[in-house]
Amino acid sequence: MAGVSTKEIKNRIRSMESTKQITKAMEMVAASKLRRAQTQVQSSRPYFEILLSTIGDIVASTQEMSSPYLTARPVKRSAYVVIAGDRGLAGGYNSNVLKLAYEHMEGKDAVVLPIGKKAVDFFKARQIPLLVENYR
């Protein structure tokens, strides 16, 4: 680093410290939001379990009931709901989700319901049919 003054080095160190503080604050906010979402999911679990057992009881008790939703059919076309982030530090998440979805649907007659601008752009670029183009 020939020709660099000590003032420039000090400014660079201060800049890095400021970036470190901002990143730490963003990490704390994200952790808080994640904990809140996990709490909401855990609090809704008893309702899900009751609903699942009720549906099971209904299906078990009515042997003669015929419903198009309960008949086994061959899979002709699959629909995938792919949720990707639009902004923030979600590059790794987006990459992994989009890659996994794309690998899973390869060779199948599939359509995608993309949520998030990155998902829309990803599947448009690969000419995968989309249910909607409005990503929000």
Under the banding of pLDDT at 50, 70 and 90, the label for residue 135 is low
Per-residue pLDDT at 80:
94
Question: Are 91 and 71 in contact, with CB atoms under 8 Å apart?
Answer: no
Neighbours of 93 (CB within 10 A): 14
Question: Are 93 and 85 in contact, with CB atoms under 8 Å apart?
Answer: yes
CA distance 59 to 51: 12
pLDDT above 70 (res 104):
yes
CA distances from 40 to 34, 43, 48, 81, 82 (A): 10, 5, 12, 21, 22
Question: Are 39 and 31 in contact, with CB atoms under 8 Å apart?
Answer: no
Structure tokens at 48: 């899900």
Neighbours of 86 (CB within 10 A): 14
Per-residue pLDDT at 47:
93
**Full-model pTM:** 0.52
Under the banding of pLDDT at 50, 70 and 90, the label for residue 26 is very high
What mean pLDDT do residues 100-106 have?
Answer: 93
29-85 residue pLDDT tens: 999 999 999 999 999 999 999 999 998 888 777 667 677 777 788 888 999 999 988
Question: Are 128 and 118 in contact, with CB atoms under 8 Å apart?
Answer: no
